[in-house]
Structure 1
Amino acid sequence: MMLNHRELRIFLAIARAGSIIGAADRVGMTQPALSRSLRRLEEALGARLFDRHSSGMTLTRFGEALERHAERIEFETARVLDEFQMLNGATAGYVRVGLVPSAVTTLLEPTIAAVSAKAPKIQVQVIEGGGDAMIAAVANGRVDFALVGNISSDFLPDMIITPVFEEEVCVAARPEHPVFKKSQLSLADLATSRWVLPEKGNAIWIGFDSLFRRNGLEPPAPSVSTNSVHILKSMVASDDYLTMMTRVIFKSEEAQGSIRPIPLTQALWRREIVMVRSHRYSLSPAQKLFLSEMSQQIQSAQQA
């Protein structure tokens, strides 16, 4: 059977609004018309797509399955329209990119500036977060592609993974931290300190865990965990916490003297940043332009 795109659009509107009333306002149709459309779709599929409650409507497991496919169709339709606009000379389109904080710091602003100079009508939506959250965003279609710290490909079976660049990761603290007063600093000293860390599961946390375990030490439990780079830097700069982060993230704080890397070679490592995108979606012209400009920014940074 062929799915009706108009009915899929109405289905998504109801799913996002959580009610027929809310969806009617979004799509500019009457409530009876939406109800009839939804009924036809459910009859055609032979399944109930929503559970009705006094407070609204929630997706059934059949509805959740259809939502994933309907969103893919919606995304691909948008890409086709973008491509036709580009072919007609209208340099417009929409790019949704997920970035780990270090990539935001180093790549985002110059890339957007370069894209805007060539195609000022392109709109860019940026989602910042840890690598695990960005991979999930790629998987569910919230972003078109993401730059993340490399994670084993076993966790990314449906993804295209392209190495992009490497960055230095280190342990950092404020200059007044007691570790800087030790004449012979060791990992054991770091293991007894208080830590504030990214949330469990991302590439930095995995590197932190591995640092201690491969040296025969139990990784210390963090006093605080957060996905906010601002909180990480603020807590480290104001109190005797250690953290692990990419050095570029605290570049300005290091220049100002408020945060310093720990002088311990064992605690330094380089992580690979990769671009992750789903093989299920083709890239639109706008997305190709964004990736092209980002690649040039990466090359320029590596040559500097």
Structure 2
Amino acid sequence: MSNHREKNTPDSDVFFSAVEDNPLLRAGLKMAHLRMLVMIKDHGQVSAAAAALNMTQPAASRMLSEMESIVKSPLCQRASRGVVLTQFGEALALRARKILLELREAGRELAQMKSGSGGSVYIGSVTAPAISMVVPAISRAVETYPGIEINVQVETSNVLARDLLAARLDFIIGRIPEDLNPAPFNAHEIGIERACLLVRKGHPLLEHGPARLQDLSTFDWVFQPPGALLRRTMEEIFVANGAPMPRNIINTPSVVLTLAIICKTNAIAPLAYDMAEFVAGQSSQVGEIRILPTDFELNLKPYSLITAKDRALPPSAQLLYDLVLEESRNVASATYSPLQALRHLSNA
């Protein structure tokens, strides 16, 4: 009889027994400790971690000492700029992040159940697929999943990838930055971002055939800040073809300001083709912008649907992920020629 009871011990009894026997919990490890360790890993400084948690640095230092006493191992060591985690700290921080993420998802799921909503999704995207894939996917998601709340962040891949790792986003459409370890990511390539050059209606370069690279250097340019992928790509084209770089450059991450400058001056600006196509088709003053035909193509590196490994997507996010993937296949199967489309729009 006793053997029968042992074989049918409820799972809950096994779980609570494991919790009670956990040496870290018995030694006093708390949720606040886990949050602090994750913040130290993310910020690389105890002071910055303390500020993120709205506490003083001495209190954060005491909490770090408590953790080291509990695990009986050093968790941090000083570095040239702040601190870095030891192998013990890295191992505990990895587990801590997973625990905190699971609790966040539990709270999110309970809130959705109470409100009866269709769930919430947090996604990020670089410009081109945000227009060509995310917008139609959102339209279909709202029809399929009534009450769904979708939050979209359009940014560079550098910003998006870090927000994904910090669990501020469910998934992103972009590229894994070269300065980040690709191991924490899952990436599914879905397209190549095409770009083009924008000028105002009546621009001198529109009077002739496709512009040559050598014709462009004498005009003012509006670029994204240094290091941005589109800017680097354009700079590499100038260098590879031995053409002089533009001398007068305005740097701004704002698409709105870029378009305003283009409308009022003879400046040239590179922009994602999907955004350019959208802008050039409007009837407002922004619609006075034209795509400049060129004798070269401006293509960026492929972008991907990217998720964080070891983190399952909630149902609402999985729905939108699948719809974006389906839209990417629709875009890939389109039969139009990019150069034909550019020339058509430039003559509109």
Task: Give the structure-2-normalised TM-score.
Answer: 0.65
Q: 2:307 aligns with which of 268, 277, 281?
A: 277
Q: Report whether the alignment pairs 1:44 with 2:70.
A: yes
Equivalent residue number for residue 249 of structure 1:
275
Bigger Rg, structure 1 or 2: 2
For the Cα contact (< 8 Å) 1:94–1:123, is it kept in 2? yes
1:221-244 per-position Cα deviation (integer Å, ceiling 9, x unaligned) = 561122221122221122111111
Give, in whole Å, the separation in 1 of the partners of 2:247 and 2:53.
Answer: 41
Give, in whole Å, the separation in 1 of the partners of 2:142 and 2:121.
Answer: 12
Query: Which amino acid counterpart does residue 302 of structure 2 have in structure 1?
Result: E
Report the alpha carbon displacement of residue 208 of structure 1 after superposing the two structures with TM. Answer: 0.7
Q: Report whether the alignment pairs 1:194 with 2:230.
A: no
Give, in whole Å, the separation in 2 of the partners of 1:6 and 1:184.
Answer: 62
1:98-155 per-position Cα deviation (integer Å, ceiling 9, x unaligned) = 1112233233333233333333454433222112222222233332321125766986
Equivalent residue number for residue 56 of structure 1:
none
Q: 1:74 aligns with which of 100, 113, 118?
A: 100
Q: 1:185 aligns with which of 201, 211, 214?
A: 211
Report the alpha carbon displacement of residue 291 of structure 1 after superposing the two structures with TM. Answer: 0.3
Report the alpha carbon displacement of residue 206 of structure 1 after superposing the two structures with TM. Answer: 2.5
Report the alpha carbon displacement of residue 205 of structure 1 after superposing the two structures with TM. Answer: 1.8
Aligned pair count reads 282
Report the alpha carbon displacement of residue 73 of structure 1 after superposing the two structures with TM. Answer: 2.5
For the Cα contact (< 8 Å) 2:222–2:249, is it kept in 1? yes
Quickly say closer, same or farther: Cα 1:123–1:60, change in 2 above 3 A: farther
Give, in whole Å, the separation in 2 of the partners of 1:92 and 1:15.
Answer: 35
Equivalent residue number for residue 317 of structure 2:
287
Quickly say closer, same or farther: Cα 1:116–1:276, change in 2 above 3 A: same
Equivalent residue number for residue 54 of structure 2:
18
Q: Could you say what secondary structure the match of 2:235 adopts?
A: helix
Quickly say closer, same or farther: Cα 1:184–1:60, change in 2 above 3 A: closer
Quickly say closer, same or farther: Cα 1:155–1:187, change in 2 above 3 A: farther
Gaps spanning 5+ residues in structure 2: where?
A: 1-22, 40-48, 77-81, 335-348
Report the alpha carbon displacement of residue 283 of structure 1 after superposing the two structures with TM. Answer: 2.4
1:74-106 per-position Cα deviation (integer Å, ceiling 9, x unaligned) = 223334566799999x77544221111223323
Gaps spanning 5+ residues in structure 1: where?
A: 21-30, 50-58
Equivalent residue number for residue 260 of structure 1:
290
Name the Cα RMSD after superposition: 4.0
Equivalent residue number for residue 160 of structure 2:
134
Query: Which amino acid counterpart does residue 131 of structure 1 have in structure 2?
Result: S
Give, in whole Å, the separation in 1 of the partners of 2:144 and 2:121.
Answer: 14
Q: Which moved more, 1:108-117 or 1:187-196?
A: 108-117
For the Cα contact (< 8 Å) 1:105–1:248, is it kept in 2? yes
Task: Give the structure-1-normalised TM-score.
Answer: 0.73
Matched ranges for 1:1-304 at <5 A? 1-2=23-24, 4=29, 6-8=31-33, 11=36, 16-19=52-55, 41=67, 43-45=69-71, 70-79=96-105, 92-148=118-174, 156-182=182-208, 185-220=211-246, 223-255=249-281, 256=283, 257-269=287-299, 271-303=301-333
Report the alpha carbon displacement of residue 196 of structure 1 after superposing the two structures with TM. Answer: 0.5
Give, in whole Å, the separation in 2 of the partners of 1:165 and 1:268.
Answer: 14
